[in-house]
Amino acid sequence: MILWIKGKAYLNKEIKEVCINFDRRIKEIKSICKPDIDLPQGTLILPGVIDLHTHIRGLKLSYKEDVVSGTSEASYGGVTLIGDMPNTIPFVNTVETITTKLKEFEYYSRVDYFVYSGVTKDFEKVDKLPIAGYKIFPEDLEKEETFEVLKSRKLKILHPEVPLALKGNRKLRLNIWYEIGALYYVKAYQNVHITHATNIRTVRLAKELGFTVDMTPHHLLVNGEKDCLTKVNPPIRDINERLWLLQAISEVDTIVSDHAPHASFEKLQPYEICPPGIAAISFTVPFILTLVSKGIISIDRAVELISTNPARILNIPYGEIKENNYANFTIIQFNDWRYSTKYSKVIETPLDGFPLKASVYMTIVQGKASNLEGDVFPVKGINPFGENK
């Protein structure tokens, strides 16, 4: 079905009243039309938001989060395309597990999706699959096969902590050099992306080495690691490091959620053994637009961070409202509210109650309304790296 939507949109670095004609892709953009969807005053159409780093879990970890709950929360937060990490059960790094994971998304995802493989000994076979790239964890930096994977032309996402960070007292991970040192393991390779940088030195070294780099809202906002609810890898730094990190919002390529859900009973375990992770995939878009509302960043910078730059990193036809790009839109409005999750199986996060000045009015995925004012619908997403269109 071909539709017209009319409203204020971010187009060619300007905000203008336009009409957009689309089905699964954008067909035409003009100034006057008879709209099928006439948006209310105060809304703004943005290119569909992309989150490069999520853990949707699923498979045998569906008790933490499954594809329906995780992608519904993404749509509620205005995210139209998510990248899923491989550390579930079974670990996703073989032809069989990747195929199974992609099928799970194909059947149940409410937004567009792609997956990363873990480091694998079946590199030649895995590299031919419709994946976005590979996730490299700290323990992988000691494996021979990692350096074969690093030669792939596909994207390599590095969790920046050295293998030593996994051994001994957790407090040792608070040393930021454990994070910075990981970048030197991969400095000779191309198309590397550094994820969830927690300090400005990691960001600047990544840029010096020719890498792209991201950060998360919780590494900026959460006031240190105090309990299981705030436990995350790499750890949240002290106030001085976080103030320096705030400057990096003008230097990083994108913002990610690192949505990492765990069951409530797991987060109630003793601090020493409870699993790390904060699950707030629906927080990123309202938070970034709140920074726009407060004049901290421009709308141009916001769209770069959450749409244009991640599409460029992935080299896919997303991230801009232009003809022939996929018809994925994040439609926002400026209003006051306090954050909480809605569809995720995670019902408590350290960001709960955070005051925000923007919310998501509508999420459009593949030309269909996936979310309208907080109600999410069973729209079928696609894998832009695959054939299941």
- Rg (alpha carbons) of the chain, rounded to whole number: 20
Instruction: Give the residue carrying structure tokens 């032809």.
Output: 95
- Which residues contribute to the annotated binding site? 53, 55-57, 87, 135, 159, 196, 258, 262, 276-277
Residues tagged in the binding site annotation for substrate? 55-57, 87, 262, 276-277
Q: What 3-state class would DSSP assign to 254?
A: strand
Give the Cα separation of 132 and 192 in Å (integer). 12
Is 36 labeled as catalytic in the residue annotation? Answer: no
* Active-site residue identified among 38, 258, 300, 352: 258
Q: What are phi and psi of 10, to 5 degrees?
A: -90, 110
Question: DSSP letters of 61-123?
Answer: GTTT--HHHHHHHHHHTTEEEEEE-S-SSS-S-SHHHHHHHHHHHHHH-SSEEEEEEES-S-H
Residue 224: count other Cβ atoms within 10 Å of its Cβ.
12
Annotated binding site for Zn(2+): 53, 55, 135, 159, 196, 258
To which residue do tokens 């498979």 refer? 59
Q: How far apart are CA 141 and CA 358, in angstroms?
A: 40
Q: Which two three-digit tokens encode residue 254?
A: 């994108």
Residues annotated as catalytic are: 258
